[in-house]
Amino acid sequence: MNKRFNIASQKQLLSVNPLRGICFKRKMKKSIPLILSIIMVGAFNLTVVHAQLLQQKFEKAAGSIFTNSTNGNVVYTGSSTDAYFNNGNPSKSQFDFAAVSSNPEDGALTLTSNAGGFSWNKTTTGVIGEVCRVTNFAATAPKSLVVKATLNFSAITNGSNKAVTFSVGSGFHGADYTKNYGLGYPVQKSTNVNSQFVIQTNSNNGKWGVTNNSANYINNDVPITWVINNSGAALKYTAPDGKIYTLANGTFDLWLDAARDIAGGAATTSGVALNNFAIEMAGGMDSFTLSDLLIDELPK
C-alpha cells in the first residue's frame, strides 16, 4: 500500500513515505530552507492515505475461543480489550462476534486463535459457524472494497460445495439475532448481501476451490484478493499479477494468488451498501485457517 516518491540530485536523495513521513537516504548538504521547500512541494503530490476499514494480522494468540461440543448454540462477543471481538463497538481490527449453532450430538466446531490466524476445526457436517462484522466499516459506506486474506486448509475429511462463504453487504444480523433464533444456512439473507463467493472442498484429493469455478481446486496457503465495485461506474485497479484491470459496476473479481479465478462475477443483490463482512462455515468436515485479513477501499 505504501507509495514512495523520490527526489534525486547528484548529491542527495529524499524519500517521502505517506505512512512513515520523511526518510533521508543520504546526508543532505543543502540549506534547511531548501529542504523545507522540497518537502512542501512533495507533500502536495502525495496520495491521500486513510486508515484501513478492517485489518487483523492475528498476532495475539487468544487460545480456544469456544467450542459447541457441549452446548448447541454458542456466541462469543468479546469486549473492548479483546484482541479480536467487541460486539457493537469494534475497532478497525475487531469483529462483532463469532457464533456456532447445532445440536450438541452433531459434533463440534471449535474456533481457536493462534498467533497467525483464526482456525476453525469442524468435526461434523451438522454444525454451522460464523465470524461477523455487523458494525459498519465507516460512517459513509465505501463505494468499492478490496478484501485480502490468506487461506490454509489443513484437513479436508468430508468435502462440500458450500464449505465456507465470504459475504459483504449491509444490515447483517447481530449476536442477539443469533441467540434468539439460532443460525441457519445461509446465515445472512441474500437481500442483505451485495457480493459473496463460496469455497468448496474435495475430500478425494484434499484440495479446495471456488464454487463458481469448481474444477480449479488448488493447494493450501493461498492468498486471496476480492475486488468489489459498488460505485455506480466502472473502476480500474492494479491486480496481484501487476496489471491494470477494469471492473464494471455491480460486479467483482476474485483472485487466488496471481490468477483471476472469477472475472466480473455478478453481485448477489446489486446496490446493497458495502458495510458489513461475514465468514460462514456450513458444509463439510474441514479445518482451515484465515490469516492476514485486510479490507479497504480501492485507491482513488
Tens of pLDDT, residue by residue over 223-264, are: 999 999 999 999 999 999 999 999 999 999 999 999 999 999
pLDDT at 68: 64
What is the distance between the alpha carbons of residues 197 and 268, in angstroms, rounded to a whole number? 10
Q: Are 249 and 230 in contact (CB under 8 A)?
A: yes
Q: What is the mean pLDDT of residues 273-292?
A: 91
Is the predicted pLDDT of residue 104 greater than 60, yes or no? no
pLDDT at 260: 94
pLDDT at 185: 64
Q: Residues of CATH 2.60.120 domain(s) within the chain?
A: 54-296
The three cell numbers of residue 172 are 447483517
In the CATH scheme, what architecture does the domain 54-296 have? Sandwich (2.60)
Q: Over the stretch 125-172, which tens digit does the pLDDT of each residue have?
A: 777 888 999 999 999 999 999 999 999 988 888 888 888 999 999 999
Is the predicted pLDDT of residue 291 greater than 70, yes or no? yes
pLDDT at 49: 41
Q: What is the mean pLDDT of residues 34-46?
A: 32
pLDDT at 69: 55
Among the listed residues 175, 141, 168, 170, the one whose alpha carbon sits nearest the alpha carbon of residue 226: 168
pLDDT at 45: 33
Residue 279 makes CB contacts below 8 A (sequence gap 6+) with 130, 131, 132, 164, 165, 166, 167, 290
